[in-house]
Structures are given as C-alpha cells and as structure tokens.
Structure 1
Amino acid sequence: MIESGALKRQFGDSIELNGESEVYAILAELSLNGSSYAILQSEAMQGEDAIEVFRIVADAEGILQLETVEDDDEWEAVSEAYDDAQFGSDDQP
C-alpha cells in the first residue's frame, strides 16, 4: 500500500496526465481494500462536481504512477469512500 499523501509529495497539489494538456487538482488520496487511490478533478470538472478516480501504484524505482480504474464496482466503492470522508456517511452505527 502507498503511504497516504505520497502522490502530493511527489507531484505537488496538481498533476498533468500523460496525453492530456489539462491539469488535475489532487483532491484526496485514500486507501481502500489494500489499494491506494487518488481523487482528481480538472477545472472544467469543478462546475459539474465530477471527479476522476485512479489507482496509485509504484514502479520498480518507486516512482508513483496512476492507473485508470476500469471496474465500475471498484470506481463506485472508492467514490463513495471519498464522499464519506468529505461529507460524512449516512450510515448510523
């Protein structure tokens, strides 16, 4: 598992994804089910309150990389965990 905050330490508060000229703010880094994730948002996405979810992985040299989350269930679980962290959970103990 990647240490929380490692992506921001490596890239700062924003990141430009390969192949895209758009800069994404790093809104959050979180761990779920043994994997680490980044929640990103471009300026254009702010108006729609939309986010992107990426898995954070380290290459052989320890450089952090982002992987697209292809699985809808995984994406939803991470998105929900982010919402819960930001706004609190509706679930009552």
Structure 2
Amino acid sequence: MSEFSASNVIWTSRVHDAFGSVVELEDEQGNVSYYSVEKEFDVAGGSYAVLRAESGANAEPEIFKIISGQDGVLELVTIDDDDEWENVTELYDELTFPE
C-alpha cells in the first residue's frame, strides 16, 4: 500500500486556523492573488493545502505544500518534486472523485 493513499490522510486546518478561509499569496513579481482554502491534509510525512483562486469561476484548484518557517509561521510553497506532485495530485483526485 502506498504512503499516498486515502487511508493514510489526516485532515487538518492549520492554514485556515492561521489565515482564515481566504489567503493572500504573492508571486515573484509582487502580484497578489486571493485563494479560498478548500482542503488541508497530512500524508506521507508532508502537509498540503488545496486552494482555489478567488478570481475566475472555473479556476482549477491548486495544491501547495505547507511548511513551517524558521519563526514557526506557516508558508505555502509550490511542490517542486515531480514524484511528490504526481502522488499528491493523484491522491487529491482519488479523495475528490472516488470510483
């Protein structure tokens, strides 16, 4: 059984508890976007948040990795590892659209 399976998911609310139901993210160019927090979970030693852009009715959800900064403040970062990205997105699809 893969570590990235629905049976290993622990639902969390750290991002929601820290920032509320809408988070503000700034990209490298300083552009600010607002996202609704849809789901948060821990699995396979990682923590993840599923966010949906506030702009655009058909915006696809985006998955970010949750990390604790040096000062303990939560940060949302993109998932750079291709295998981790694939595992997390497949798991999210499985959780969202069970067969």
TM-score by length of 2: 0.73
| Aligned twin of 2:93 | 83
| Aligned twin of 2:43 | 32
Deviations 1:51-71 (A, max 9, x none): 211110111221101111112
> Structure 1: which 5+ runs fail to align?
none
RMSD of the TM alignment (CA)? 1.9
Identity across matched positions, percent = 36
| Aligned twin of 2:34 | 23
SS of structure 1 residue aligned to 2:31: coil
Mapping of residues 1-93 of structure 1, within 5 Å: 4-18=12-26, 19-44=30-55, 46-48=57-59, 50-88=60-98, 90=99
Q: How far has the Cα of 1:21 moved from its partner?
A: 2.1
Report the residue type matching 1:51 in the other structure: P
> Structure 2: which 5+ runs fail to align?
1-10
Deviations 1:9-34 (A, max 9, x none): 00001111023322011111111210
Aligned counterparts of 1:59 and 1:35: Cα–Cα separation in 2: 14
TM-score by length of 1: 0.77
Report the residue type matching 1:82 in the other structure: Y
In the comparison of the two structures, how many residue pairs are matched? 86
SS of structure 2 residue aligned to 1:8: helix
Aligned counterparts of 1:45 and 1:74: Cα–Cα separation in 2: 27
Aligned counterparts of 2:67 and 2:79: Cα–Cα separation in 1: 12
Q: How far has the Cα of 1:36 moved from its partner?
A: 0.2
